Chain A
């Protein structure tokens, strides 16, 4: 309410992350040789990284026999990750196959 004080940072500057997240992010940057051209990009990627830490913890709960955590993709949103590192289109499954016959059943007893 004090008119002499003005907000000069954007919402990125008010990023609320658990304690130690930025330290982990710095280790991640060093380990994977990441470079961000601007401060804004750094802050944005830090936010994505924080969310991915939470996501990795969720994956760990859902998938306890595997180990989930920080990977080289931890600064990417799910959409960015899918766009850059996957790339399989729909179709091509058993149901849509008209080009060749589905393989005949093999005996798998015992």
Chain B
């Protein structure tokens, strides 16, 4: 594994998006992973539609039957992959633009830009997460966002952050090796995480989170996706 790695430098990551006052982080995390996987397969970076997921996806989790995708009320990335495999694929952002509220489903199969072939969840081990990131592209991740409400910049490495209260879907796009941590005595590795709260939030829309501690539960809900020819 390289010491540091960043999919943004390779052109696999779209601009930082803005979910607005809508609990649709799961949709942005899903589209981010698919945008990256599609770039790796085709060499083309397409911005894909979150609104299609917000409007049309009502898929439920296999085990937790009440964990269903529900527009601005929340959802799960793994549910969304299942929905996309059944629906036939995802439209482009420009074909089905984001409105930050749930509306009538306007999905048209003839407008599908990217199809989902398969997806997988990634083991808890953060070295495995790094290896899968490098091999498969940006990964959809869930984490506890409690420190993100007041985050302005730097490497977030909180002494206490519950691993259980995972409530926010984001996109893992890379990792760095030299984020300075006073309390952890020296330079520590960190994850580079794309958020969906606009460019003005955090590090130009990104969150830098300590690597190697399962920080804020970031290792508990990680998934990779593979795309197919549309």
Contact = CB atoms under 8 A, between A and B. Distances in A.
* A and B together in one complex: yes
Interface of A: 52, 55-56, 59, 62-69, 71-74, 76, 78, 81-94, 96-103, 105-108
Interface stretch (B31-39, B71-79, B103-111): B71-79
A72 B123 CA distance: 35
Nearest to B72: A87
A86 B20 CA distance: 10
A64 B82 CA distance: 40
Interface in B127-147: 127-128, 130-132, 135, 142, 145-147
B75 A99 contact: no
Contacts, number: 189
Nearest to B118: A100
A102 B149 contact: no
B96 interface: no
Given A85-B23, A92-B78, A102-B123, A63 B1 contact: no
A73 B149 contact: yes
Contacts of A87: 22-26, 72-75, 167-169
A71 B25 contact: no
A32 B72 CA distance: 23
Interface in B152-188: 152-160, 166-169, 179-184, 188
B25 A92 contact: no
A110 to B, nearest CB: 8
B131 to A, nearest CB: 4
Most buried by B among A62, A67, A88: A88
Nearest to B202: A71
Contact of A93 (B121, B180, B197): B121
B157 A66 contact: yes
B62 A96 contact: yes
Contacts of A88: 25-26, 29, 74-76, 142, 166-169, 221
Nearest to A103: B120
Contact of B76 (A86, A91, A103): A91
Contact of B150 (A59, A100, A102): A59
